[in-house]
Amino acid sequence: MDNICYGLSGRVFVITGGSRGIGLEIARRLLKNEKTKVVLCARKQEGLEQAAADLDAGDNLLALPAHIAREEDVAALFQRAKDTFGRVDALINNVGMNLLTPSTASAGMDTWKKIIDTNLNGTFLCSCAAAQIMREQGRGKIVNISSIASRRSAPGMGIYGVAKAGIESLTRVLALELAPDNIQVNAVAPSMVKTGFSAPFWSNREMHDQIVGGIPLGRLAEPADVVEPVLFLCSEGASFITGQVINIDGGATIV
């Protein structure tokens, strides 16, 4: 891959949940360009320090602790991004979590609230904070990381799927409302990606083979399979695309 990176050189990105997994790989790809700036967040300081050491990007990287479902954390995150780099060109709402819920109907309110809070409420809060800055700039891109679980019921993923469906709906609503401000809002919906998040599934040979059996392209996604479409959606090449959800699933949803 070249360092020009879809014409994104010099742009300022906020990536939520960038201390590992897909978010970290998006940051790594962007920071190959020495003019691009990245702000990433996570809850745990240790993970942020490891990511910062790994990315080794000097002043082009800000790695800040923030819980995206806490209003005060989100406000501080975007204020620091603006104070440090002067603007926010793109927000990548990457944070996601799941608590395995064998039965959604008996999961209980605490579990429901935790999953909805981090996945959906967090995406809402970060989008609102970014939109405020982007409106002043007269431009911006928001890309949400959904999941094909938004449209497919899967064991253990019930509430997570509901939250992701909410994110896809939010994507369309914000795309419409922010269109007059020249802000494009899109989402990607991957099938299983080989990160720590999904390791309990793909590290089990039997489960791995069963999942791959439902994917026409015959393999699981790697983080890089998600990185490239996300960066395209952040680029000027995608400036007439808004309110869309792109499946990144090796064809899983066409069978």
Nearer to ligand NAP, 16 or 33 (CB): 16
Q: Which residues of 68-80 are buried (b: 16+ CB within 10 A; e: fewer)?
A: bbbeebbebbbeb
Point out the catalytic residue in the list 40, 92, 160, 242: 160
Give least dist CB 207 to ligand NAP, A: 12
Paired tokens of 116: 């909805």
Is the separation of the CB atoms in 5 and 228 below 8 Å? no
Nearer to ligand NAP, 114 or 172 (CB): 114
Reduce the DSSP state of residue 197 to 3 states and report it.
helix
Give least dist CB 44 to ligand NAP, A: 3
Give least dist CB 22 to ligand NAP, A: 4
Q: Site residues (CB under 6 A) for ligand NAP?
A: 16-23, 41-44, 47, 66-69, 94-97, 118, 122, 145, 147, 190, 192-193, 195-198
Give the separation between CA 175 and CA 200, rounded to whole angstroms: 35
Nearer to ligand NAP, 139 or 209 (CB): 209
Is the separation of the CB atoms in 234 and 92 below 8 Å? yes
Nearer to ligand NAP, 12 or 227 (CB): 227
> Quick one: which of 40, 42, 123 has its CA closest to 85?
40
Cα distances (angstroms) measured from residue 249 to each of 27, 69, 211, 217: 22, 28, 11, 9
Give least dist CB 180 to ligand NAP, A: 28
C-beta atoms surrounding 92 within 10 Å: 31
Question: Is there a catalytic annotation at residue 6?
Answer: no
Catalytic residue positions, numbered: 160
